[in-house]
Amino acid sequence: MTGLYSIGEMARRKVTQMNKKLIILDIICYAALPFLIWKYGRDILGDYPAMLISTVPGFIYTIYRFIIERQFNIAGLFVLGSLMIGTTVDLLSGSAEQMLWNGIYLGLFYVLVHLISLVLMRPLALYFAVDFVYLQGWPRKESRELYYKKGIFKWFQLIQIFFIIRGLFMAGLKTWLLQKYGVDGYDQMLIYRQISGWVFGLLITAAYFYTSVPISKYLERRKSGAKTEPL
């Protein structure tokens, strides 16, 4: 029974199968193609059009991931909603520099969303996990009730804090690069953003892996009929 709700075990299998392919596609669509479009297109098209076009590969790739991973759930809708909002903001920005600043403001808005969900004791990290195990065939209600158990819930709160820290760090990094290099620093933003995204992604994934430990302990105690203590 422990295996049914072990996010870590399920995630390990899925990550092992898809990791290499996704890393290559991430590099191509989120870094390499945008970098090349910006580098060789800005002199021909101008800063703002080149920057807008550089977001197209990432947009298409995100939609592709959304469909093939069957993310028609809270996690998927959050990603898709963020993509649509971000694209709309980019199109309305009017200039390359304003587009970059708006991206920073939008990132801080998402930090606020994550913070509110944490304060309301409804961490999005938990609902993302519920969506993940649901795609493996386990009922949302049962997994959600399990994840809210004392001793397990705090780990999802911690993961939620990681999301907040990531958002603040990314906003700070972009602000520093923009103030130091201006629009000319966009290519560096693409590279640093991708590297930072991987670092925080690994940290968050490791935290999700670790949730299998308190979940296993809770299920073992429940199976043995022992009174569940905080982990």
DSSP conformational letter for 95: S
The mean pLDDT of 165-182, rounded to a whole number, is 93
CB atoms within 10 A of CB 151: 15
Average pLDDT for 1-22? 53
pTM of the predicted protein model: 0.77
pLDDT confidence of 230, banded at 50, 70, 90? Answer: low
Half-sphere exposure of 86 (CA within 13 A, CB side): 20
In sequence order, what E strands does 98-193 have? none
Tokens, residue 230: 């905080």
Whole-number pLDDT of residue 69: 65
CA–CA distance, 8 with 227 (Å, rounded to integer): 25
Helix residue spans in 120-152 (DSSP H): 124-135, 140-147
pLDDT score of 158: 95
The token pair at 126 is 């938990």
DSSP classification of residue 185 = G
Query: Is 18's pLDDT higher than 70?
Result: no
Question: What's the pLDDT at 207?
Answer: 92
Q: How far is CA 148 from the centre of its chain?
A: 21
Tens-digit pLDDT profile for residues 72-128 = 567 777 777 888 898 899 989 989 999 999 999 999 999 999 999 999 999 999 988
Residue type, 159: I
Q: Is the dihedral of CA 201, 37, 78, 116 positive or negative?
A: positive
Whether the per-residue pLDDT at 20 is higher than 70: the answer is no
Confidence category of residue 71, pLDDT binned at 50, 70, 90: low
> From CA 77, how far away is CA 89, in angstroms rounded?
18
Per-residue pLDDT band at 9 (split at 50, 70, 90): low
